[in-house]
């Protein structure tokens, strides 16, 4: 089965998966998702363009919250993190999504969704099984 894009017709929340959530996690309406084509999802994901200089700080706060009390944390090397966030900020402005700054996009939209940050770094060889594991770029490290 192939994953598809779904859009909540009430609040425009997007879902990418085999089937839509029964209840929209954003507006809590039941049976609100409709299947949409990839080009519609792309348009929703890329418009409006973020304001330069704004998304970097917003994203920093989001990844701190994402790391939360997990087994991983945001790298305490502030300079490295700042460079990575600038790379993602540039990718978002130039290509519409926060693609990983240390990976090359294949230009296949579905394939490239795998490298939108944060990616599934728990399965990276650089992370799993390593005492001092980290994601490919070192944005997230094991505690
Ligand atoms: S490797 Fe790290 S920086 Fe790159 S997308 Fe994954 S989590 Fe983000």
Positions of CATH 3.90.460.10 in the chain: 55-142
> Residue 43 has which token pair?
């348009």
Q: Does the C-beta of 100 come closer than 6 Å to ligand 1?
A: yes
Q: Given ligand 1 and candidates 105, 121, 127, 138, which is best to mutate, with the most ligand atoms within 8 Å of its CB?
A: 121
Residue nearest to atom 1 of ligand 1 (CA): 136
Owner of token pair 């966030």: 85
Residue 30 near residue 23, CB atoms below 8 Å: yes
Q: Report the separation in Å between the CA atom of 128 and the middle of ligand 1, taken as the mean of its atom positions.
A: 14
Average of per-residue pLDDT values in the chain: 89
Pick the CATH number of 4-46 from 3.30.420, 2.20.28, 2.40.160, 2.40.300: 2.20.28
State the average pLDDT over residues 94-100: 87
Q: Which of 52-61, 83-92, 123-132 has the lowest mean pLDDT?
A: 52-61
Q: 70-83 pLDDT, tens per residue?
A: 999 999 999 999 99
Q: Does the C-beta of 136 come closer than 6 Å to ligand 1?
A: yes
Residue 20 near residue 33, CB atoms below 8 Å: yes
pLDDT attached to residue 104: 95
Q: How far apart are the C-alpha atoms of 96 and 55, rounded to whole Å? A: 12
Q: 41-69 pLDDT, tens per residue?
A: 887 877 665 555 557 788 889 899 999 99
Residue count of the chain:
143
Pick the CATH number of 55-142 from 3.90.460.10, 3.30.230.10, 3.40.50.2300, 3.20.20.450: 3.90.460.10
Q: Does the C-beta of 135 come closer than 6 Å to ligand 1?
A: yes
pTM for this model (two decimals): 0.77
Q: 11-25 pLDDT, tens per residue?
A: 889 999 999 999 999
């Amino acid at each position: 089965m192939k994953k598809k894009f779904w859009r909540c017709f009430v609040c425009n929340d997007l879902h990418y998966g085999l089937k839509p959530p029964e209840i929209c996690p954003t507006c809590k309406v039941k049976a609100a998702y409709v299947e949409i084509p990839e080009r519609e999802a792309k348009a929703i994901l890329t418009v409006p363009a973020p304001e330069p200089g704004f998304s970097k700080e917003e994203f920093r706060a989001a990844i701190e919250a994402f790391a939360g009390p997990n087994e991983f944390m945001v790298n305490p090397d502030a300079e490295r993190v700042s460079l990575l966030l600038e790379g993602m900020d540039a990718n978002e402005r130039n290509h519409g999504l926060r693609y990983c700054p240390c990976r090359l996009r294949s230009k296949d939209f579905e394939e490239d969704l795998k490298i939108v940050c944060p990616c599934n770094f728990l399965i990276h060889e650089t992370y799993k099984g390593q005492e001092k594991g980290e994601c490919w770029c070192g944005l997230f490290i094991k505690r």
